[in-house]
Amino acid sequence: MAAKNDERLPIRWRGQQVGVLVGPRVDMFWLYGGWEPAAGPVTEEFLSAIEAGDELVVTVGDANPVHMVVAALDEGHIELKNQPSLNQ
Alpha helices in the chain (DSSP H): 41-51
- Please write the tens of the pLDDT for every residue from 30-82: 999 999 999 999 999 999 999 999 999 999 999 889 999 999 999 899 999 99
The distance of Cα 82 from the centroid of its chain, to the nearest Å, equals 11
Q: How many CB atoms lie under 10 A from the CB of residue 45?
A: 14
Query: Which helix (DSSP H) or strand (DSSP E) does residue 14 occupy?
Result: none
- Of 6, 25, 14, 5, the residue nearest 56 (C-alpha): 14
Q: What is the pTM of this model?
A: 0.89
